[in-house]
Amino acid sequence: MEIATVIEALFSPLWTPVLVGALIALLAFAQRWLADQPLSCSTGFANLASFLRPGVKRDREADWRIVFLLGIVLGGLLAALTDGAPGWQGTAAEFGVFYTALVPESSLGSALWWLIGGLLIGLGARLAGGCTSGHTIAGVAMGAPASLVASAVFFAVAVGSAQLAAWMLGV
């Protein structure tokens, strides 16, 4: 398979949101029932980092989280490859003013933009004691007060950030 085909498949239109939401709910339920652990991603990244660093003692009972992360990547690839849509549909201009104003046009600049953004998201998830999937999907479903507060903060900061960016860009 050519790399261009894989990249094109990764950016194909999404599956039906209702179907994806139902599948995530089933996954969250199954993970809680089978592993007695809530659905989350950020802890898996921490486990992967400890696995990759020689000499660091790691929690072998948490190795399933690394497999979970691999499943996220492979599941996304499978979804993109089976969507049946005709590949990348749209230009950067069609993604909106924020994308065109903030994301560099060069491939290297764009890759660095997304890498740094991902690292900041990971740092924020660790500081918040979990990621949005852990808090908002699993924590809220279990009625955890900390997750209710964290989820409210996630949404408030997202709205505030979008409003600030719009103001800064004059939109």
pLDDT score of 92? 54
> CA-to-CA distance for 28 and 50, rounded, in angstroms?
25
CA dihedral 144, 36, 120, 102 (to 10 degrees): -80
Q: Say whether pTM exceeds 0.95.
A: no
pLDDT score of 95? 59
Residues 6+ apart with CB under 8 A from 22: none
Tens of pLDDT, residue by residue, the chain (171 residues): 566 665 565 555 556 777 777 888 888 888 778 877 777 777 777 777 777 777 777 666 667 777 888 888 888 778 767 766 545 445 555 556 667 777 777 778 878 888 888 888 878 887 877 777 778 888 887 888 988 998 898 889 889 988 888 888 777
> CA-to-CA distance for 70 and 45, rounded, in angstroms?
11
Q: Which residue has the tokens 């479903």?
A: 141
